[in-house]
Amino acid sequence: MFAIVNTPRNYPWGSTSEIARVRKVAPSGEPEAELWLGDHSGSPARVEATGESLVDWGERHADRYGGRPLPFLLKLLAAESPLSIQAHPTREQARAGWDRENSLGIALDSPQRNYRDPNHKPEVIIALTEFTALCGFRPTAERLRILHFLDKSGVDGTETFRQHSDRGLGVAVEWLLGRGAGVDEFLAALAELNARSGERDIDDAVRAAQSLAAQFPRDPGAAVSLLLNHVVLRPGEALFLPAGNIHAYLHGTGIEVMAASDNVLRGGLTTKHIDVSELLAVLDVDELDEPRLQPRVSGSVRMFDPGLDDFVVTDIAVNGRVEVSIAGPGIALVTDGELVVTADTELRAIQGDALFVEAGETITTVAGNGRIFLAHSPAPSSRQR
């Protein structure tokens, strides 16, 4: 077990203060969006003591690393403004898309590339602050109430929107992203709408859509948002975003853990490439009643288990001493306080510190006063004793 470090990635949607606040360092002045902690080639972490890439360290110590790249990536994420609406493929879809685009000779760095690796990318986001997001398609009853409100408010194009969504959620998405007849008029009327219904679900949906229409003029993603669940996570709550789930992070800071992939099919709120047909091919168009992922709780240990073979996330709040059994390889991030983590070795870690837990090592105790998140294998080894 040893300390690892990395440099935040500066995407335009990032916060100028939040990642620095969690890390307890001075802000860089740039919009810091994500701190990657793992061995993904896009931004591999480094061994703090030597500056060596975690990838290079793993190649030299295959037995202590687990003999393969990590199947997960932990990120500290801070969204000041919305990310694109997107979905991710299954493993089978990713492999087929990867092979297809390779055979066509599409460069890995091409803006037209959909598949940058042959892996799936399910995700879990756990809120550190209030965190707003779009996640999955709304239940029919909620969607119909919103459409009724828009119709009563005189929003041009609502009836056309209704007709397409009644034919299927995928049909509505295709109409919007393909800028079918009536889409531009509907977007313009939506941006100008200034009314409240007095019903929370409708108010949240319409306010979110109006805000997105203002931030992304003429972007059909603003209208797509009306079809999706608008979720407000309290600190400590989580979302699970499986393959095919349509989603977008809107605002907030959280811990994100995902399968190690960079495959994204976008569906609005972006100037980047949108492949409508490929998005529709991976999209799960079933309605989602409850997008939150509930943890298994044992004392001060909460495990978020999405049922994957890639990872689980364990959240430990410590005030004294907590006994656990968490086997490596794993990645940990301290988000509050000062802790002593004991495995084969003992390390003191303060807020903002990140650790790599080697394969064959098992964290047995965490002591002090603070909070630590760990991404690790889903093997049944993360229970409070």
Confidence at residue 113, expressed as pLDDT on a 0 to 100 scale: 95
The pLDDT of residue 384 is: 38
Domain ranges of the chain: 8-133+233-270, 139-227, 296-376
H or E segment to which residue 295 belongs: none
* Collapsed DSSP state (helix, strand, coil) of residue 131: strand
Residue 194 pLDDT = 78
Residue 381 pLDDT: 42
- Which residues are catalytically annotated? 266
Listed as ranges, residues in the chain with pLDDT below 70 are 380-385
Q: How does DSSP assign 250-285, residue by residue?
A: EEEEEEEEEES----EE-SSSSS---HHHHHHH---
Q: Which of 202, 163, 170 is nearest to 186 (CA)?
A: 163
Question: To 10 degrees, what angle do helices 183-192 and 200-215 make?
Answer: 110
DSSP string, 173-185: HHHHHTT-TTHHH
Q: Which residues contact 172 (CB under 8 A, 6 or more apart)?
A: 161, 164, 165, 227
Give the per-residue pLDDT at 199: 87
CB 319 within 8 Å of CB 369: yes
CB 242 within 8 A of CB 98: no
What is residue 322's three-state secondary structure? strand
DSSP state letter for 287 = B
pLDDT in the model for residue 380: 52
- Residue 383 is predicted with a pLDDT of 37
CATH number assigned to the domain covering 296-376: 2.60.120.10
Which CATH architecture group holds 8-133+233-270?
Answer: Sandwich (2.60)
Cα distances (Å, whole numbers) of residue 65 to 13, 57, 120, 174 = 34, 8, 22, 44
d(C-alpha 352, C-alpha 54), whole Å: 18
Secondary structure tally for the chain: helices H, strands E:
11, 18
How remote is the C-alpha of 92 from its chain's centroid? 21
Distance of CA 191 to the CA centre of its chain: 27
Minimal CA–CA distance to 146: which of 216, 87, 193, 83? Answer: 193
Cα(134)–Cα(71) distance, integer angstroms: 26
pLDDT attached to residue 202 = 87
pTM here? 0.95
Q: Give the chain's radius of gyration (CA, Å).
A: 22
The answer to whether 254 and 131 have CB atoms below 8 angstroms apart is yes
Q: Which helix (H) or strand (E) holds 165?
A: helix 158-167
DSSP string over 184-253 = HHHHHHHHH-----S-HHHHHHHHHHHHHHHHSTT-THHHHGGGEEEEEEPTT-EEEE-TT--EEEEEEE
DSSP 8-class letter at 363: E
Distance CA 218, CA 221 (A): 9
- Let me know the angle formed at the C-alpha of 195 by 191 and 198, rounded to the nearest 5 degrees: 135
pLDDT of residue 121: 96
Q: What is the pLDDT of residue 198?
A: 86
